[in-house]
Amino acid sequence: MDAAPFPNSVNAPVPTVVKNKIHDSFRINQISNVRTDKVAATTKYSEFVYEYRSGEVLTTTLKISGQSLLDIRA
């Protein structure tokens, strides 16, 4: 039995972008702040959205572009 690859894996399928058929493209950046009584974490996510002339929308895999941790126990 084959398991589906993890989305950020090198074995994950990569969507093919046909550049001459793109109507618009943009990047979405997201920031997540999580805090507990001991640690605060900020994670930055990034993905691309491509809109084709035919109306089809292709979204790339959401990827973590950065993470920072802060120990607040002190």
pLDDT digits (tens, 9 = 90+) for 13-28: 666 777 788 888 899 9
57 found inside a domain: yes
22 found inside a domain: no
Task: Report phi then psi at 43, rounded to 5.
Answer: -120, 135
Computed over every residue of the chain, the mean pLDDT equals 80
Is pLDDT at 4 greater than 60 in this prediction?
Answer: no
Look at the alpha carbons of 5, 9, 11, 13 in this order and tell me if their dihedral is positive or negative. positive
SS3 27: strand
User: Taking Cα atoms as reference points, which of 69, 68, 57 lies closest to residue 28?
Assistant: 57
Q: What are the tens digits of pLDDT across the range 28-45? A: 999 999 998 899 999 999
pLDDT at 1: 39
Measured between alpha carbons, how far is 3 from 13 in angstroms, rounded to an integer?
Answer: 13
47 found inside a domain: yes
* Number of domains composing the chain: 1
12 found inside a domain: no
Is pLDDT at 10 greater than 60 in this prediction?
Answer: no
SS3 63: strand
